[in-house]
């Protein structure tokens, strides 16, 4: 883009960047709280995602920052290993992303089955809702989804006016008010004000109400100097990465962040007709951003669809909108940190509850139904496993379900034994994939062939045949010589690779 074009586009990019900033501000703080981290950590990640990653991103209209999809994983890492160890884990995860981008592995991160991705997001959404409902009543969340679910009646009883303490209901009303405003604004907002995000409107209005009524609720704690929120990476902590559990956590973080980023980038590409995403460059940029976040002790980042879609809808056409939104975040935190300190935590929790509900996409589940029951089952198993165990177990179980589905499909083989017009001749018709899983069924059919039969086996309708099935056929041919049987394997039309060597040729008897 030349200077003249840049000057012409600048007003549009400025407006879009302000819209994205207004969307990002409450989300950065809310996701940090949901991750068990101070709100300022999320703001630092948002600033790096805008200013640094925005410059080098391979998807120019995608906006990077803290993601709700990683909140559950980060919360668990902080609970198990402490906040100080998040930095080394994130540094290693970012390095893995950078290397993956450099080695042009970006496309492979998008191989993940949609059923696993949607199930993962649904499970994360449920966990966010279950944890943030407690935060919405100014109480601490429990470490697991099941504990949060079972503990909610006690939290609700303590929050009611007749309960012990009885002040949590005020925070709860602020959170519910935020959710109601976001839902109503999404449905009935005027066309002229479509650029105003519902999350900002809800948080701003609930903050004003809480200040006007001087409600005794927990509020955001943000340092006056942003540098106070930076926890520099300590070299001694890097040595602890020799722990296998930390290495697994880094790989899991890198994979989930990369998959979410590239799926989001693909979705953003479908929203506009401009420059397409370079997935490898985007992956490298995310790696650089996460390495910086690890050094500064901030939250991990991904490309995020909510802020990215707001960016496109606001009219952005270049990367400058994403960059400038990071500048506005930095300026707001530096100049108006006292305003942030008036925001009720319950209102930000309401934003996260609403976001978590949106992550459970039932439309995606219905669309998976078009491809059969197994994708829907994979979705459900992945989501439930994440809720009742942990994120990594749920994702691995989802992959196992996908591989099982592929194995079952690959093992489909239709076997038909047909009598030919010529007396004493029969044809064994095989359609599909002849693998070792079908050896028992093939054996049963071969046992029904009468003695003295010449058996023709055309292989043209097979997509694949392995050594086990070929050996079974050859053994039948050899053993059948004693009773006058013959085997003719016709492979003229076989289009794909046949595993193992065949001694017979087309039309030759065995």
Full DSSP string of 321-348: HHHHHHHHHHHHHHH-HHHHTTSBHHHH
Residue 499, pLDDT score: 41
Residues 106 and 138 in one domain: yes
**97 in any annotated domain:** yes
Residues 372 and 425 in one domain: no
Q: Given CA atoms 274, 280, 281, 283 in this order, what sign does their dihedral have?
A: positive
Residues 471 and 346 in one domain: no
Percent of the chain scoring above 90 in pLDDT: 43
Quote the CA–CA distance of 38 and 487 in Å, as a whole number. 75
**507 in any annotated domain:** no
Helix 244-269 to helix 86-102 angle (10° resolution) is 50
Residues 433 and 392 in one domain: no
Residues 64 and 123 in one domain: yes
**113 in any annotated domain:** yes
**Each residue of 302-345: pLDDT tens digit?**
998 888 988 888 888 899 999 999 999 999 998 888 888 999 99
Residues 185 and 264 in one domain: yes
Token pair 């907002």: residue: 189
Q: Which of 405, 423, 439 is the last residue of a domain?
A: 405
Going by C-alpha positions, the residue among 74, 82, 72 that lies closest to residue 144 is 72
**3 in any annotated domain:** no
Residues 148 and 289 in one domain: yes
- Determine phi and psi for 456, rounding to 5 degrees: -95, 130
Going by C-alpha positions, the residue among 108, 384, 40 that lies closest to residue 255 is 108
**497 in any annotated domain:** no
Cα 151 to Cα 12, 155, 460, distances in angstroms: 48, 6, 62
Residue 294, pLDDT score: 96
Residues 368 and 461 in one domain: no
CATH number of the domain bearing residue 457:
3.30.750.24
3 state SS of 104: coil
Residues 292 and 394 in one domain: yes
Number of domain units in the chain: 2
Residues 248 and 137 in one domain: yes
Domain coverage including residue 323: 8-405
**Each residue of 337-394: pLDDT tens digit?**
888 899 999 999 999 899 889 888 888 888 888 888 888 899 999 999 988 887 778 8
Going by C-alpha positions, the residue among 482, 28, 59 that lies closest to residue 260 is 59
Residues 427 and 389 in one domain: no
Residues 361 and 432 in one domain: no
**74 in any annotated domain:** yes
**91 in any annotated domain:** yes
């Amino acid at each position: 883009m030349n200077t003249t074009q840049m000057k012409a586009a600048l007003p549009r990019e400025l407006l879009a960047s302000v819209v994205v900033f207004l969307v990002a501000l409450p989300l950065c703080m809310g996701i940090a709280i949901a991750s068990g981290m101070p709100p300022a950590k999320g703001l630092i990640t948002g600033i790096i995602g805008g200013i640094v990653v925005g410059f080098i991103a391979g998807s120019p209209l995608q906006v990077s920052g803290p993601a709700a999809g990683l909140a559950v994983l980060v919360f668990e890492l902080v609970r198990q290993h402490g906040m100080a160890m998040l930095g080394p884990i994130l540094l290693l995860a970012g390095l893995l992303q950078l290397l993956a981008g450099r080695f042009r592995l970006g496309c492979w991160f998008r191989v993940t089955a949609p059923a696993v991705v949607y199930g993962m997001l649904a499970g994360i959404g449920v966990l966010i809702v279950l944890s943030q409902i407690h935060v919405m009543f100014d109480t601490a969340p429990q470490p697991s989804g099941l504990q949060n679910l079972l503990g909610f009646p006690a939290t609700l009883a303590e929050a009611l006016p007749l309960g012990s303490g009885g002040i949590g209901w005020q925070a709860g009303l602020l959170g519910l008010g935020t959710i109601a405003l976001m839902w109503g604004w999404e449905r009935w907002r005027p066309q002229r004000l479509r650029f105003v995000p519902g999350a900002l409107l809800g948080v701003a209005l609930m903050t004003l109400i809480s200040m006007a009524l001087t409600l005794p609720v927990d509020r955001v704690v943000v340092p006056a100097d942003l540098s106070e929120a930076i926890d520099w990476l300590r070299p001694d902590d890097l040595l602890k990465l020799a722990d296998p559990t930390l290495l697994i956590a880094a790989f899991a973080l890198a994979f989930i962040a990369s998959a979410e980023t590239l799926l989001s980038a693909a979705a953003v590409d479908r929203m506009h007709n401009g420059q397409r995403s370079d997935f490898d460059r985007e992956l490298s940029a995310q790696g650089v951003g996460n390495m910086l976040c690890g050094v500064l002790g901030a939250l991990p980042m991904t490309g995020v669809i909510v802020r990215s879609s707001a960016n496109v809808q606001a009219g952005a056409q270049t990367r400058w909108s994403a960059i400038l939104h990071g500048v506005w975040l930095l300026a707001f935190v530096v100049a108006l940190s006292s305003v942030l300190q008036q925001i009720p935590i319950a209102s930000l929790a309401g934003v996260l509850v609403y976001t978590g509900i949106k992550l459970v996409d039932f439309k995606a589940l219905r669309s998976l139904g078009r491809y059969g029951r197994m994708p829907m089952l994979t979705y459900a198993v992945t989501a439930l496993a994440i809720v009742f165990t942990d994120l990594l177990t749920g994702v691995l179980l989802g992959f196992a379900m996908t591989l099982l589905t592929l194995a079952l499909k690959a093992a489909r083989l239709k076997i038909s034994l047909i009598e030919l017009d010529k007396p004493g001749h029969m044809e064994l018709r095989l359609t599909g994939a002849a693998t070792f899983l079908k050896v028992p069924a093939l054996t049963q059919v071969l046992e029904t062939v009468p003695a003295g039969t010449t058996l023709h086996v055309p292989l043209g309708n097979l997509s694949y045949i392995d050594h086990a099935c070929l050996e079974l056929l050859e053994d039948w041919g050899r053993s059948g010589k004693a009773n006058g049987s013959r085997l003719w394997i016709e492979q003229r039309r076989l289009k794909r690779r046949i595993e193992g060597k065949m001694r017979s040729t087309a039309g030759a008897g065995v």
